[in-house]
Copies of this chain bind each other. A is one copy, B any other.
C-alpha cells in the first residue's frame, strides 16, 4: 500500500483523537493540560501531513483497537468484488458518518409522534418522501437491509403453508424470509437463456394452484439476480401477478441505486432495495417501498394494549419494530442519495464499461461469459476454465496464481483461488480504471502464453 494512503488514514485517526479531547473537556474550553495535549496532537498531524505530501515516512498506526487491520482496499486497489462495488460510500457519506456515527445520532430533535420517519432535523421525513418518489411508489421506509424488507412483507402476507413464488435464481434471504413466515418457496424455472419469464411465472402459479388448490400468497422476483445478474421479465411478471391478484415484490437489491427503477410501471406492490449493496451506504441498510393500497397492511401500526397499564404505542409500525436505522446507517444513505439519484441516470455508461471489460476478457482464448451477453449489468459471471485455469493446473500456487498476479498489479476482489467460474463487478470504475483492469488481465494472459484473439468470442 502506498505510504500516502497510510498517512491519509493516520491523519484521519489523529483528528479523531483531537475530537476526543473536545468530547472529554468542558464546554467552556480546554484547561492547560488539554491545551498542551491538543497542541501536541496538532503538531503530530503536521508531521503526518508532511509525510502525506512528500510520500515519505513509515506506517505508525497499523491496527485499530489493537486488533483490527486498516482497510484500504478501495484506496490502494481496483476492487472488483461482486457485491461490494455499488455499496462503496461516497465521500459525502463518509463525511456524514464522521458526523453522525454515534449510536442514536438521529434522535437529537425527535419530537412527537416519536418515529424515525417523522424527524425533520436532519431531514429524515423529507428523505423518506424522496425515496418513495425515487422508485415511483407511494410510501417508503428504511430497513436494516433488503432482507428485512422481504421479512416485513412475508410476515404480513404469508401464512403457514402458503406458497411464495420465487425465481430459480432467488437470493437465499428470500428463502429465509418465506421460511420464517411459515411459507414454502416455489421456484419459477429458468428458460434456456437463464431468464425468468412472465410465461414461466404464470405456469408456475397454475402449477401451485393445481397442486395446493390455492393461489400463491406472494411473488418475489429479482430484477437482476445475484448469480448471473441477468435481467428477468419483471414488468411482465408484474402483469401476471395482477391478473392473478397476487402481491408482487420487486427485489431491486441489484438495481435500486444504480439504475432507474419505476415501481408503478413495473407493476410492483413492493420495491425492495439494498443500501449496502447498491446505494453507497453503511450496512445494514435498505429500503422497502409500497403502494397506498398495501401500506395499511405492511406498515400497520401496533394494536397491542398493555393489560395492566393500558399502554398503547399507536404510531409504531409492527413490522418495522418502530424505528429502524437510527444513526450512521441512515445518514450515510441520506448523504449518498443526491449522488445515487444522479448516478442511476448514467447507468448506460456503467454498462458500456462492463461490456468493454468483458469483451477484452473474452479475447483471451478459452474465456467465456456465463451471464447473458452483451451485458446489461456490471456484475458478471465468467468462466475461465479454458484460459486462466489451464495455467492453474500446473502452477505451484494453483488457482491462487491469478490472485497473486492481480494483486501485484493492484487489482483485488476476485474470489481468491478461483480460476474456473467466478464473478466480478465493474460498477463505479472510471474509464481509466476499466481500461487498466482489462489491460491487467491481458498482461497476465500474455505472461502465461495464453492465446489472445483480435476479436472477441463468446
Contacts and interface: CB of A to CB of B under 8 A. Distances in A.
A78 B83 CA distance: 41
Nearest to A331: B68
A4 B76 CA distance: 31
Given A49-B46, A327-B282, A104 B276 contact: yes
Interface stretch (A16-24, A215-223, A258-266, A288-296): A16-24
Interface in A80-124: 81, 83-84, 86-89, 91-108, 121-123
Interface stretch (A298-306, A352-360, A375-383, A385-393): A298-306
Contact of A9 (B67, B99, B327): B99
A231 interface: no
A430 B33 CA distance: 15
A69 B409 contact: no
A438 to B, nearest CB: 13
A97 to B, nearest CB: 5
A121 to B, nearest CB: 8
Contact of A74 (B11, B102, B186): B102
Contact of A101 (B77, B89, B324): B89
Nearest to A310: B187
Nearest to A126: B67
Task: Say which size band chain A's interface belongs to.
Answer: 35 or more
B103 A89 contact: yes
Given A89-B101, A99-B70, A101-B94, A325 B23 contact: no
A337 interface: yes
Contacts of A423: none
Contact of A98 (B18, B94, B123): B94
Interface stretch (A313-321, A364-372, A443-451): A313-321
A144 B148 contact: yes
Interface stretch (A131-139, A172-180, A232-240, A243-251): A172-180
Given A180-B318, A337-B65, A329 B100 contact: no
A328 interface: yes
Given A74-B102, A155-B180, A179-B318, A186 B307 contact: yes
A77 B283 CA distance: 29
A326 B95 contact: no
Nearest to A306: B187
A282 B189 contact: no
B42 A304 contact: no
A189 B309 CA distance: 8
Interface string A423-436: 00000001011001
Contacts of A188: 308
B23 A172 contact: no
A87 B104 contact: yes
Nearest to A152: B180
A174 B338 CA distance: 36
A280 interface: yes
5 shortest interchain CB distances as A-B pairs: A87-B103, A27-B410, A283-B327, A103-B276, A144-B144
Interface of A: 2, 4-5, 8-9, 11-13, 15-20, 22-24, 26-29, 39, 42, 45-46, 49, 52-53, 64-78, 81, 83-84, 86-89, 91-108, 121-123, 144-145, 147-148, 150-151, 155, 168, 170, 172-173, 175-180, 184-189, 275-277, 280-284, 302-304, 306-309, 311, 313, 316, 318-319, 321-322, 324-329, 331-332, 334-339, 409-411, 430, 432-433, 436
24 contacts: A8-B15, A9-B98, A13-B98, A16-B91, A16-B94, A16-B95, A27-B410, A64-B95, A64-B99, A65-B96, A68-B96, A68-B122, A73-B108, A87-B102, A104-B283, A172-B313, A172-B316, A176-B318, A187-B308, A187-B309, A282-B327, A283-B325, A283-B329, A328-B332
